Structure 1
Amino acid sequence: MNTAELRAALEEAGLSQYQAEAYNTLLQLGAASATEIADACAVPTARIYDVLRDLESKGYIETYEQDSLHARARNPDEVLDDLRERATLLTDAAEEIEERWEEPAVDTHKVSIVKRFDTVFDRAAALISEAQNEVQLAVTPSQFEELRPALRRAYDNGAIIKLSLHTDEESRTIPNGASFDGIVTEVRHRTLPTPFVALVDRTDTCFAPHAHSLNQYGVLVNDYTLTYVFHWYFLTCLWEVWDTVYSSRSASLPLDYADIRHCVREIEPLLSDGGRVRVAVEGFDTETGKSISFVGDVTDVQYSGGTSSNGAPALSQLAGQVSLSVISGGRVYRVGGWGAVLEDVEATRITVREVTGVS
């Protein structure tokens, strides 16, 4: 590094042009009077005294009186430490900028990673209390008891509540059926360790690994698309294959569905037998995003997994696009479920009001 480059580096480290010039000169002279320093560099004599005092206050030099003001460079250890810290900081900043450019962080308003399970649990309780449409919940019996007040409020709000209750080998005891009355819609029992999962109204997810996991953390999601991913995890791993131990659903009409796939599985056999199924649909217009509701007859069901030839279709047949055709007021609406794009309506609630023509 030549003299000009050193001066430039000192200026980058926070010295003024005159300070860098004077310090660089003093390094060459060793010790000198203020006048000699001014004569040897480009700092005006009228400014040299102020420049030297500033350098002294920054720890670069020390001044002393010897007939006139003299100065000498201090032991550079402190200066070198400062410069190296600045270099490390700049290097770290460069690496961080590169990392953020290549892998942008997810918006913290959408996804948060937290350390404490209590944070996840408290957030879930608050969200469940305000649920209006659907709650999907995987918890232990003790966690269920703690969430009972929040679940009761959600149930009273009209939300459909699906509870996956998990126990381990040490304790397989679950609450009796009466303890679920007025709290949940349906309960299934899973006999394996399970993460804590709460999905609320298609938008919010609260997740934490099960207690025996090596990694303890929590994830809070406020995002429609990411919550849909957790929905399929809940459906396939925590719900579909496990036995129902409680249901508040009766065999009599009306029957409410928050999940179009559940609805299709139950009404397709009726349609295949020539029945007339009348439904009320609540949801959103997929083109405008505005709320929409109507009552009409189901004329057809469509799903990409192939038509069932023996009773209700399996979940695997309904893993792709699923929709209903509903005629109302002379118009045929194509009704989809969560994430509907190609259909006219994304249904948040389908209520079967009437079934006729089935023996």
Structure 2
Amino acid sequence: MDDDELTTVLEDAGLSPYQAEAYVTLLGLGTASATDIAESCDVPDPRIYDVLRDLESKGYIETFQQDSLTARARNPDDVLDDLRSRSDKYLNAAESIEDRWNQPEISDHEVSIVKRFDTVLNRARELIETAEHQIQLGVNTDQFYELAPELHDALERGVNIKLCICTGPDEEIPDVADIERACTEARHRKIPSPFLVLIDRTWTCFAPHRHSVSEYGVLVNDRTHTYVFHWFFITCLWEIWDTVYTERTPETPTSYVDLRHAIRDIEPLLDEGATISATVRGYDTDTNERVNLSGTIVGVDYTGSTMGRKDPIPLAQLAGRISATLEVDGDRYEVGGWGAVIEEIEATQIIVTDVRHQ
């Protein structure tokens, strides 16, 4: 570093231009009179005495009388500590700026693009910790273990968790015992996939798979956009892949968080004349108040029903409007799925508590 660069840095550290120049000059001279210092730099003679006194008060130099005012640089330990401290502050400020740029504060109904995958992973972890109803996620094995503690806690709270493990040809899936502790149901996709976590039908955390050319992430706090990612999860990460674990058994009660999957099982039973008792939990679509109703499912309806049903019902037939009718003490309620508007209730959970055949 030459004299000009060092002078500039010292100015950034708080010295005036004259002070910085005089100090750099004195470092080169060792010990010198005020007159010699002024002659060796651009500090005017009338100013040199004030400049030296200021440098002495800051701890950079010491002065003494020898025929004339003479100065020498002090041991630079204190100066070096000060400069290093300032350097650390600049580094901390740089890191803070980078973190804030990569992880902007998320407000309602916002889609944010972030630079680093770690930002997406950490946000997913935070959201899993506060999930109330439902989590859907597609992750590789390493990502699963990163999120496993939070998934385990969410499962203990009663959150329904659908997990898709996505692996390459030579990658192993997690141990089934670990999977059981972290989800309601798990499937295995034998193709690498983007990182995807959906929380309570509102939040999406998405990042391209690790073989992607560029690293970035998308954080979404919006029900409509999250619904699009939900269909990506259903069609690409769930529907066609083998089940490796499920807590569901042939015995009732059977719990569903997606009305479409519930109707797949319920419609054949209704066709056989069965009486289906169920509890529906969700929200009143007019008031947004929580609803918890128990009664009998007496009918189902969906846009694709006129196409002619096959067992099981193709997913395409359930892609439009879909509803179930719940009878409670003589009153009937229309129950819709995710994003229900026309129906009276948006269901977040359907629990089939009993099935009685005629």
Same fold (TM over 0.5): yes
Distance 1:225 1:240, change over 3 A: same
Q: Report the equivalent of 1:261.
A: 260
The superposition leaves residues 19-67 of structure 1 with CA deviations (integer Å, 9 ceiling, x where unpaired) of xxxxxxxxxxxxxxxxxxxxxxxxxxxxxxxxxxxxxxxxxxxxxxxxx
> Does structure 1 residue 123 correspond to structure 2 residue 123?
yes
Q: Report the equivalent of 1:158.
A: 158
Work out whether residues 282 and 348 of structure 1, in 8 Å CA contact, stay in contact via their aligned partners in 2: yes
CA distance in 2, matches of 1:272, 1:205: 37
Q: Report the equivalent of 2:204.
A: 205
Q: Report the equivalent of 2:97.
A: none
Work out whether residues 109 and 222 of structure 2, in 8 Å CA contact, stay in contact via their aligned partners in 1: no
Letter of the structure 2 residue corresponding to residue 122 of structure 1: N
Q: Structure 1: any 5+ residue segments left out of the alignment? A: 1-105
Q: Report the equivalent of 1:190.
A: 189
Work out whether residues 151 and 183 of structure 1, in 8 Å CA contact, stay in contact via their aligned partners in 2: yes
The superposition leaves residues 256-300 of structure 1 with CA deviations (integer Å, 9 ceiling, x where unpaired) of 111000100111111111101111011111112111111111111
Q: Report the equivalent of 1:345.
A: 345
Which secondary structure does the structure 1 equivalent of 2:213 belong to?
coil
CA distance in 2, matches of 1:132, 1:255: 19
Work out whether residues 163 and 184 of structure 1, in 8 Å CA contact, stay in contact via their aligned partners in 2: yes
CA distance in 1, matches of 2:208, 2:244: 24
TM-score, with normalisation over the residues of structure 1?
A: 0.68
The superposition leaves residues 70-120 of structure 1 with CA deviations (integer Å, 9 ceiling, x where unpaired) of xxxxxxxxxxxxxxxxxxxxxxxxxxxxxxxxxxxx978611110010000
Residue 232 of structure 1 deviates from its aligned partner by 0.7
Which secondary structure does the structure 1 equivalent of 2:234 belong to?
helix
Work out whether residues 180 and 245 of structure 2, in 8 Å CA contact, stay in contact via their aligned partners in 1: no
Alignment of 1:225-264 (within 5 A): 225-264=224-263
Residue 311 of structure 1 deviates from its aligned partner by 2.8
Q: Report the equivalent of 1:318.
A: 318
Q: Report the equivalent of 1:178.
A: 177
Which secondary structure does the structure 1 equivalent of 2:235 belong to?
helix
Letter of the structure 1 residue corresponding to residue 134 of structure 2: E
> Does structure 1 residue 284 correspond to structure 2 residue 277?
no
Q: Report the equivalent of 2:4.
A: none
Which secondary structure does the structure 2 equivalent of 1:342 belong to?
coil
> Does structure 1 residue 133 correspond to structure 2 residue 133?
yes
CA distance in 2, matches of 1:178, 1:286: 40
Which secondary structure does the structure 2 equivalent of 1:305 belong to?
helix
Distance 1:108 1:181, change over 3 A: closer
Residue 145 of structure 1 deviates from its aligned partner by 1.0
Letter of the structure 2 residue corresponding to residue 298 of structure 1: I
Q: Structure 2: any 5+ residue segments left out of the alignment? A: 1-105
Q: Report the equivalent of 1:148.
A: 148
Q: Report the equivalent of 2:218.
A: 219
Residue 169 of structure 1 deviates from its aligned partner by 2.0
Residue 342 of structure 1 deviates from its aligned partner by 0.9
The superposition leaves residues 123-170 of structure 1 with CA deviations (integer Å, 9 ceiling, x where unpaired) of 101111221111000000111111110001110111110011000123
CA distance in 2, matches of 1:134, 1:146: 19
Work out whether residues 207 and 219 of structure 1, in 8 Å CA contact, stay in contact via their aligned partners in 2: yes
CA distance in 1, matches of 2:214, 2:295: 50
Work out whether residues 269 and 312 of structure 1, in 8 Å CA contact, stay in contact via their aligned partners in 2: no
Residue 183 of structure 1 deviates from its aligned partner by 1.5
Distance 1:178 1:107, change over 3 A: closer
Which secondary structure does the structure 2 equivalent of 1:306 belong to?
helix
CA distance in 1, matches of 2:197, 2:276: 32
The superposition leaves residues 166-202 of structure 1 with CA deviations (integer Å, 9 ceiling, x where unpaired) of 001232x212322222310111111112000000001
Alignment of 1:100-115 (within 5 A): 110-115=110-115
CA distance in 2, matches of 1:189, 1:206: 20
CA distance in 1, matches of 2:188, 2:250: 22
Residue 215 of structure 1 deviates from its aligned partner by 2.5
Letter of the structure 2 residue corresponding to residue 346 of structure 1: E
CA distance in 2, matches of 1:108, 1:290: 19
Cα RMSD after superposing both structures? 1.6
Which secondary structure does the structure 1 equivalent of 2:255 belong to?
strand
Alignment of 1:14-163 (within 5 A): 110-163=110-163
Distance 1:301 1:320, change over 3 A: same
CA distance in 1, matches of 2:347, 2:309: 26
CA distance in 2, matches of 1:316, 1:348: 21
Q: Report the equivalent of 2:37.
A: none
CA distance in 2, matches of 1:116, 1:161: 25
Letter of the structure 2 residue corresponding to residue 291 of structure 1: R
Which secondary structure does the structure 1 equivalent of 2:305 belong to?
coil
